[in-house]
Amino acid sequence: MYYRSSCSPYDVQANQGQRFDFARIAKRYEDTVPIRGKRKDQNIRPVNRRDRAWERIIKVSDTEYYITYDGYSHRQHHNKAISWSLNDGIETMTVHTPRKMWGQNPSMELNPYEFRSSSIFWFYNFNLPADFGMVNHRANKYVRYNNKHYSVELGDITFQRKQGDNHWQPLVVHREFKHTLDRTKTKEVRELIKPFMEYYDTMANIVDSKWEYGNPIVRALGDGEMRHIKPEQAMDLFKRGVCDEWFTMVERYKHRLTRYHYSNQHLHEREKLGKVICNDLFYIVKPCKATEVPIGELTHDRYKNWYR
């Protein structure tokens, strides 16, 4: 007996993927009877299985279509996954990076973390045209074509071809950079935090530990959003000397160290404390050198989240 619920995301998407190009998606749209019943007026045309109506085809005009993986009834907006258009004999395909859809209005902020969902990843893979595919290289997501790999985490990528031609040309792709720590800059940061570490040694036995979500340096600067903090602000916090913000950071870092179950004899150990503080400050200051990666090559940047 066959149980649909036992299928893996790969199997589900492999069975319903359509390997679309413009001609195929236009035909599929016209051949698909819209969902009936209460949702009849929404003109919902599933990519394939009618019990997966959130994966649907949207017709923008006679010359443009796209597919989405999150066309849920409770959402006013949804992500475009892949779109196709045909104008003046030129066929264009755009592979869209997911966006954050929080709140009433869709945000333009990229949200490539949605590719962590196996269902979404394979939805893209099996609905791309023939000869295309998705590649997961050390948690980095790429579109593969002709043995070239194009990052789809940095923004939408676009391919074009003449109508009737089998070969696609990359039109919009994104350069990648691999970051490595600059030892000169990291040494400067380590020297910068030494006065605070001495202050911590004095105060840790006096103050109580306190939990607070996020990076203690960011919180001490009065903003919960890492992206709003400039590197010079974080550096100045350590340059200014003893202040109220330092007291706040002692409370947070004391909790950080005890939370990881260090014993009392390790609580004030400079090596561990320095590593924790440096990691938090590195995340803001980003003391790195960037090396450009040739377009089409796979890469792994261990510090890429610092630049998102």
Helices (H), the chain: 9-16, 22-31, 118-127, 183-192, 194-203, 216-220, 231-239, 244-259, 264-267, 270-285
Q: Are strands 176-181 and 64-68 parallel, antiparallel or unpaired?
A: unpaired
pLDDT of 3 reads 47
pLDDT of 84 reads 98
Tokens of 168: 């696609």
pTM, rounded to two decimals? 0.85
Map residue 196 onto helix, strand or coil.
helix
pLDDT of 178 reads 95
Each residue's pLDDT expressed in tens, for the chain with a length of 308 residues: 344 556 899 999 999 999 999 999 999 999 999 999 888 888 999 999 999 999 999 999 999 999 999 998 777 888 999 999 999 999 999 999 999 887 656 677 899 999 999 999 999 999 999 999 999 999 999 999 999 999 999 999 999 999 889 999 999 999 999 999 999 999 999 999 999 999 998 898 888 888 888 888 988 887 656 667 889 999 999 999 999 999 999 998 888 877 654 444 444 455 778 888 999 999 999 999 999 999 999 999 999 888 87
pLDDT of 262 reads 47
Query: Quick one: which of 17, 57, 22, 20 has its CA closest to 164?
Result: 22
16 and 126 in contact (C-beta within 8 Å)?
A: yes
pLDDT of 223 reads 63
Query: Quick one: which of 15, 217, 29, 40 has its CA closest to 122?
Result: 15
Domain boundaries, the chain: 4-176, 183-285
Nearest-angstrom CA–CA distance, 69 and 151: 20
